[in-house]
Amino acid sequence: GVLKPGYLADVNVIDFDGNDYFESPSAYPTGNDFSFLMVAGIDAISSAFNSILAIRQSIGHPSFQIDAGESSQFRLRFYDQDMGTAKTFASSSQHGPSIYEFIFNGTADLLEVFVDGTSLGTTSYTAAPNQGNKLNLFANRAQNKNPDGFVAEMVGTASALQATERQAIEGYLAHKW
């Protein structure tokens, strides 16, 4: 990604042009309960597998990606290997810019997805990702399907956020961006 000065709310963002991505330098151990909230925008989708977030199988499954689920629109699909039940959460394009939120609750065996504070539903989440796997932004698990867009900020937590915690982070992100 390339730094794009003053792109959103006059604050710098990381711009991905459809052929680059971020990968954590080492394992990203999520634990069983975890959450991701990210301010991002999608400029173009070229494949159903274009992904904004993935825990890739760098050492093995279980793994997942949050991808487009459709060849020209970003519809927030949870596409996994050995983690639960795949699901496309949106019936229409969700290109943003938006706050995309993913709450993995291992205790309740559920993944809940939100966009800008509105729940798009839940799906079965029955196994945590392999704790030795790496985190990708703007790449699928194979690192060969990359959307064109940007990430302004991402927050990851080692817990399944409760509603009040999630809303507090949403408020911070909405105010800043």
Contact 147, 32 (CB under 8 A): no
Concatenating the DSSP letter of every residue in 69-122 gives SSSSS---EEEEESSB--EE--SS---SSEEEEEEEETTTTEEEEEETTEEEEE
pTM of the model: 0.94
How do beta strands 87-88 and 98-105 pair? unpaired
C-alpha 26/C-alpha 97 separation (Å) is: 28
- pLDDT truncated to tens, each residue of the chain (177 aa)? 666 666 666 778 999 999 999 999 999 999 999 999 999 999 999 999 999 999 999 999 999 999 999 999 999 999 999 999 999 999 999 999 999 999 999 999 999 999 999 999 999 999 999 999 999 999 999 999 999 999 999 999 999 999 999 999 999 999 998
C-alpha 133/C-alpha 163 separation (Å) is: 28
C-alpha 74/C-alpha 44 separation (Å) is: 9
Which position has the token pair 């504070």?
117
